[in-house]
């Protein structure tokens, strides 16, 4: 299928060929019939993407500060590689469309194939021939409403939410500043609510159009006297600002024309340096309207389909979309009369040329889609490409690797490492987003890209499956790879619950028996988890340094992890497993490797706080007892100064001490001698991947045994139990 993409790095726009999205349980795959181009939002995004790095930096000072902090803790080159990976990600354009349900998920809220629907949401209702859209961002189109009108539903719901924030009653007066698409739609809604409306826009032609669409009065200059006369000298009851400008003039004028105790509502991107005197003396209520309405920016609502109770949240973004379409069905709002340009989807780049160059006046822009000529396909193949990754000069016995999942970490760390691994050739890349896998596949020299993992699992040339998806999916995808006869490398963790672990081990045991009968390498020897830190030169130095010891070790590992908001997916126990399972496993494995022994007992305590913004389990002190008598303390801290090094480990034993700082510097001293390693940060990613590839190539067991992986995984679960029980937990 085809989709419009833009490079965030260069601003280039193109019509890309990408695999069709996979249908998930709580949504539907929709074949697009029409999509609406948001003249304001999309032009602003496209113009920003075309700015140079300096221009982007000037508009994103907070992000620049984060990059500078990362450079201090992780090094310049490692940070720049991650920034480059982020900049290279294309942007999908569009967020308002309409079409026909092609496939419906099992929990899609009553949707079925053939339903006519309107769709919303950036990242979902894109300008693309097909799109996967979660159920709370889909509404059925009433009879008699065209796909073109319905494609405006998301844009219309933004205007409707602004009108709701005005909270006006029958007979009250309103002023709308900015008579673009959003402003005129708002005028029609205010008129449908029984309000009297005055509109303002410096463009006289838009004023005339607004009057044709029902506005009681419009002006293109001298708004203050006109609004005061319109309101009988009292000032209007509410001002809705739909203009897009960095100037503070709209909020200043709004205060002048608003009555005492009135309301000013901003939906557009405007300057907000409020003139205190006017707002204070009139006690004006200034409000911001959040996009489509309640639910916007809430992943539980938008992605996981958890609706807000009707009795408590009457108008959500989905209900706003449905209300807008009902107004269209009743003829009270007429978006088609605001459409000035229509383009065939294959000519969509001409629409953006109009948008960016403003070669002629425009208002509403609609993209029209033809019936697809080819069946829906979830795989695209690429022509062979000579590169280190694609393998023009690979060793004869190289390992074919395919990725299931390819997010920020895979792009910033694993793929750059894979390029430098000589015995590795890239086969397929599979992600839920067709855009992501297609562009990654082209850029990195993969043989094919897919949105269905079955394409990877049935590929005869794939020897190693790299699992880099969200944590809750790891166990199932590892099992699927093993069942398909592949080796599996999974980013940590192995799984996120004891139930998942038990199920996975049962499958592995079964496959081990089958493998033994077939004479193949046991499944338990084909599983690898990304505990990269044990492969670092710093870890090897420490293990060698203490190898001749006769007494147990005392270890202290401090992780200055930084805070992560509670609504980020890793904090969800059912998706990310929490930070101890998702990241704490790294440091437990590191100490277990240095000690050369598994964890046998765990104690743990976390902070106690009434601050609902903090997750107590993110700041935890863990005591570990190892089978050889060594002990380790893990201090995982979310409340520290993030400019300090993230990881520091102290190890004491045999009258000697070693200190490792952030995998940049390790110093050993004492009776066991003096050793030192210093330089750029080396976390072991390259060594880990090389060892894994060599194991697969040679048909040997993975470099970390399954017993070690399982022990570390169980230790993280024991930490969670200890936090709840307050007791020492056995592993």
pLDDT, tens only, 91-141: 899 999 999 999 999 999 999 999 999 999 988 999 999 999 999 999 999
Per-residue pLDDT for 391 more than 50? Answer: no
Note the maximum CA span of the chain. 94
Count Cβ atoms below 10 Å from residue 2 Cβ, excluding itself. 18
Measured at the alpha carbon of residue 673, what is the angle toward residues 672 and 677, in degrees to the nearest 5?
A: 115
Tokens 């893990």 sit at which residue? Answer: 634
φ, ψ of residue 636 to 5 degrees: the values are: -105, 115
Q: What is the mean pLDDT of the chain?
A: 91
Six-digit token string for 12 = 């280039």
The per-residue pLDDT for 383 is 84
pTM summary value: 0.86
CA distance 176 to 254: 9
CA distance 386 to 389: 8
Identify the CA nearest to 708 among candidates 632, 652, 634, 626.
Answer: 626
The per-residue pLDDT for 389 is 44
Specify the domain boundaries for CATH 3.90.180.10 within the chain: 2-151+299-368
CA distance 76 to 62: 18
Please give the CATH number for the structural domain made up of 396-529: 3.40.50.720
pLDDT band at 53 (very low <50, low <70, confident <90, very high): low
Q: What is the DSSP letter of 471?
A: G
Pairing outcome for strands 448-450 and 424-430:
parallel
3-class secondary structure, 693 = helix
The per-residue pLDDT for 83 is 66
**Terminal CA-to-CA distance of the chain, rounded, Å?**
50
The per-residue pLDDT for 78 is 63
Identify the CA nearest to 316 among candidates 129, 544, 146, 121.
Answer: 121
Six-digit token string for 166 = 């005005």
Most confidently predicted of 43-52, 404-413, 627-636: 627-636
The per-residue pLDDT for 89 is 75
Tell me if the bond preceding 493 is cis, omega within 30° of 0.
Answer: yes
Per-residue pLDDT for 390 more than 60? Answer: no
Per-residue pLDDT for 176 more than 90? Answer: yes
The per-residue pLDDT for 9 is 76
The rounded percent of the chain whose pLDDT value lies above 90 is 79
Runs of H (alpha helix) within 136-275: 147-150, 153-166, 181-192, 204-212, 223-230, 249-257
Please give the CATH number for the structural domain made up of 532-730: 3.30.360.10
Q: Measure CA 569 to chain center.
A: 9
pLDDT band at 453 (very low <50, low <70, confident <90, very high): very high
CA distance 466 to 406: 9
Over residues 280-298, mean pLDDT:
93
Count Cβ atoms below 10 Å from residue 274 Cβ, excluding itself. 17
At 681-700, the pLDDT tens digits run 999 999 999 999 999 999 99
CA distance 633 to 558: 8
CATH of 156-288, one of 3.40.50.720, 1.20.1070.10, 3.40.140.10, 3.30.2270.10: 3.40.50.720
Over residues 358-375, mean pLDDT:
87
Identify the CA nearest to 656 among candidates 557, 545, 534, 556.
Answer: 545
At 588-638, the pLDDT tens digits run 999 999 999 999 999 999 999 988 888 999 999 999 999 999 999 999 999
Six-digit token string for 681 = 């940060």
Specify the domain boundaries for CATH 3.40.50.720 within the chain: 156-288, 396-529
Over residues 631-651, mean pLDDT:
94
Per-residue pLDDT for 79 more than 70? Answer: no
The per-residue pLDDT for 699 is 92
pLDDT band at 72 (very low <50, low <70, confident <90, very high): low
Per-residue pLDDT for 536 more than 50? Answer: yes
Angle between helices 181-192 and 153-166 in degrees, nearest 10: 60
The per-residue pLDDT for 659 is 98
Q: Which CATH class is domain 2-151+299-368?
A: alpha beta
At 424-440, the pLDDT tens digits run 999 999 998 889 899 99
The per-residue pLDDT for 387 is 42
At 196-222, the pLDDT tens digits run 999 999 999 999 999 999 999 999 999
The per-residue pLDDT for 81 is 62
Tokens 């000069």 sit at which residue? Answer: 393
Specify the domain boundaries for CATH 3.30.360.10 within the chain: 532-730
pLDDT band at 49 (very low <50, low <70, confident <90, very high): low
Pairing outcome for strands 464-467 and 399-404:
parallel
């Amino acid at each position: 299928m085809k989709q419009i993409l833009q490079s965030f790095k260069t601003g280039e726009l193109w019509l890309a060929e990408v695999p069709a999205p996979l249908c998930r349980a709580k949504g539907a795959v929709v074949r697009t019939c029409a999509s609406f181009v948001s003249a304001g939002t999309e032009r602003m995004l496209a113009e920003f993407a075309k700015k140079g790095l300096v221009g982007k930096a000037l508009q994103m000072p907070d992000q620049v500060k984060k990059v500078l902090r990362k450079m201090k803790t992780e090094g310049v080159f490692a940070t720049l590689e991650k920034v480059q990976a982020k900049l290279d990600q294309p942007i999908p354009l569009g967020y308002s469309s309409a079409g026909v349900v092609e496939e419906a998920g099992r929990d899609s809220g009553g949707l079925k194939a053939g339903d006519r629907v309107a769709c919303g949401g950036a990242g979902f209702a894109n300008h693309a021939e097909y799109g996967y859209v979660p159920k709370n961002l889909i509404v059925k189109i009433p009879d008699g409403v065209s796909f073109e009108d319905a494609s405006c539903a998301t844009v219309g719901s933004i205007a409707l939410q602004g009108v709701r924030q005005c909270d006006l009653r029958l007979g009250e007066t309103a002023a709308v500043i900015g008579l673009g698409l959003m402003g005129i739609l708002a005028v029609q809604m205010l008129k449908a609510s029984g309000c009297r409306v005055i509109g303002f826009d410096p463009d006289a032609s838009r004023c005339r159009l607004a009057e044709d669409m029902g506005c009681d009065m419009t002006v293109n200059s001298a708004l203050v006297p006109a609004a005061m006369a319109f309101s009988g000298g009292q000032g209007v009851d509410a001002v809705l600002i739909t203009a897009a400008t960095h100037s503070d003039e709209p909020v200043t004028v709004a205060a002048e024309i608003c009555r005492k105790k009135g309301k000013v509502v901003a939906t557009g991107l405007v300057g907000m340096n409020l003139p205190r005197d006017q707002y204070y003396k009139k006690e004006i209520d200034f409000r911001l309207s959040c996009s489509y309405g309640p639910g916007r920016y809430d992943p539980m609502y938008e992605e996981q389909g958890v609706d807000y109770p009707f009795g408590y949240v009457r108008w959500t973004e989905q209900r706003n979309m449905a209300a807008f379409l009902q107004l269209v069905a009743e003829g009270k709002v007429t978006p088609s009369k605001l459409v000035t340009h229509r383009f065939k989807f294959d000519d969509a780049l001409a629409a953006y040329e109009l948008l960016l160059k403003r070669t002629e006046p425009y208002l509403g822009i609609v993209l029209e889609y033809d019936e697809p000529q080819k069946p829906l396909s979830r795989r695209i193949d690429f022509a062979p490409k000579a590169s280190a990754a694609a393998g023009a000069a690979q060793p004869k016995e190289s390992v074919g690797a395919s990725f299931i999942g390819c997010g920020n970490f895979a792009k910033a760390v694993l793929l750059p490492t894979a390029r430098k691994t000589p015995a590795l050739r890239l086969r397929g890349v599979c992600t839920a987003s067709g855009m992501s896998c297609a562009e990654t596949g082209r850029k990195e020299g993969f043989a094919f890209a897919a949105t269905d993992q079955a394409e990877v699992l049935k590929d005869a040339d794939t020897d190693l499956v790299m699992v880099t998806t969200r944590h809750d999916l790891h166990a199932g995808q590892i099992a699927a790879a093993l069942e398909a006869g592949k080796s599996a490398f999974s980013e940590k963790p192995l799984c996120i619950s004891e139930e998942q672990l038990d199920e996975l081990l049962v499958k592995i045991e079964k496959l081990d028996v089958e493998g033994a009968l077939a004479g193949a390498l046991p499944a338990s020897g084909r599983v690898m988890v990304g505990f990269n830190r044990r492969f670092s030169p710093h870890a090897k130095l420490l293990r060698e340094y203490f190898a001749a010891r006769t007494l147990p070790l005392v270890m202290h590992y401090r992780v200055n992890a930084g805070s992560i908001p509670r609504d980020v997916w890793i904090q969800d126990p059912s998706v990310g497993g929490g930070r101890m399972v998702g990241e704490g496993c790294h440091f437990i494995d590191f100490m277990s490797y240095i000690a050369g022994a598994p964890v046998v007992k765990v104690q743990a305590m976390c902070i106690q706080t009434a601050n609902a913004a903090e997750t107590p389990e993110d700041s935890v002190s863990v005591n570990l007892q190892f089978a050889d008598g060594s002990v380790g303390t893990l201090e995982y801290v979310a409340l520290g100064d993030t400019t300090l090094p993230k990881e520091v480990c102290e190890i004491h034993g045999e009258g000697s001490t070693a200190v490792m700082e952030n995998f940049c510097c390790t110093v050993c001293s004492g009776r066991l001698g003096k050793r030192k390693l210093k330089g750029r940060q080396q976390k072991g990613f390259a060594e880990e991947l090389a060892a894994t590839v060599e194991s697969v190539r040679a048909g040997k067991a993975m470099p970390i045994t399954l017993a070690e992986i399982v022990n570390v995984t169980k230790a993280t679960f024991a930490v969670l139990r200890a936090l709840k029980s307050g007791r020492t937990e056995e592993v």
